[in-house]
Structure formats: structure tokens, C-alpha cells
Amino acid sequence: MLIRYKKNYEKIAMGLLSFMPSEKDLKRLQGTIKLYEEDQDWQLYLYKEDDIIGAIGVKIKGNEAELRHISVNPSYRGQGKGKAMLNALRNQLGNIEIKPSENTLEFFERSGDQSKEKDICEEVTGPDSN
């Protein structure tokens, strides 16, 4: 199941997000967590089975959600968890359509894009361009 990120999950969330190549730098990672804590359009969810094993984060833009982060604990990879997490988020977001960002495009395409269009969300420059 998906759990909405809260400050109590900061350590586990940072650990999971740090597996993303774009989040290797600690300052960058701290900036990303801050966005998820403070900006309503940025939504981070943790994926829990017996333990928390993954994280998935989007930036809401109108009725689209740009998939900014997806990460699964290395011990659980290759078992369909990433795909399950994406589907759980699709259910959670209802009519909001999930699109990939540059950082998640490869996984998104391999996981089966259920949207009609396959266009990548526009790259945004500026302070929130994580």
C-alpha cells in the first residue's frame, strides 16, 4: 500500500531517493525532500508491504502528474515492485494522468505506459527543476 510521506519517514525516504542517479548529491537530496514537505504540488508516497520498500514522487501540474522519483530497495528489485508502485499511484491519483520526467522515462517506458500519449513532460528550469 501507499503511504503519504510525513516528516517521521524522512530518513527512510532519503535513503530510498538517494538511489536515483539525480539525487546522489546530499544537498540536492535535502532540497528535494524539502519540496515534498513544503510544496503542495510535490507529492511523495512510500510503498509498504511488511516493511517500507519503495518511494514514488510526482509533481502535480493541473490534471497531469510528472513522475519525478521512483526507487525500490535493492533487495526487492526485479520482482515487479516498481510497476506495482506505479499502478498503486495511478489508482491513488484517479483522473490525474502520470507522465514520465527525464529522470524516470526509461523505467516508465519499460513498465508499460498506460497513457495514450507517450510525450515526456516539458523540462522545467529554475529552482524546482529536480
Ligand X SMILES: CC(C)(COP(=O)(O)OP(=O)(O)OC[C@H]1O[C@@H](n2cnc3c(N)ncnc32)[C@H](O)[C@@H]1OP(=O)(O)O)[C@@H](O)C(=O)NCCC(=O)NCCS
Site of interaction with ligand X (CB under 6 A): 19-21, 70-72, 77-83, 104, 106-107, 110-111
Q: How far is the CB of 45 from ligand X (least distance, A)?
A: 13
Q: Which three cell numbers stand for residue 84?
A: 506495482
d(CA 39, CA 128): 10
Question: Of 40 and 59, which has the nearer Cβ to ligand X?
Answer: 59
Q: How far is the CB of 101 from ligand X (least distance, A)?
A: 9
Q: How far is the CB of 107 from ligand X (least distance, A)?
A: 4
Q: Which three cell numbers stand for residue 65?
A: 502528474
Q: How far is the CB of 81 from ligand X (least distance, A)?
A: 4
Question: Of 40 and 86, which has the nearer Cβ to ligand X?
Answer: 86
Question: Of 21 and 127, which has the nearer Cβ to ligand X?
Answer: 21
Question: Of 83 and 90, which has the nearer Cβ to ligand X?
Answer: 83
CB under 8 Å to 94, separation ≥6 — which residues?
none
CA distances from 99 to 21, 41, 120 (A): 19, 15, 7
CB under 8 Å to 112, separation ≥6 — which residues?
83
Of all residues in the shown chain, the one whose CB is closest to ligand X is 82
CA 118 to chain centre: 18
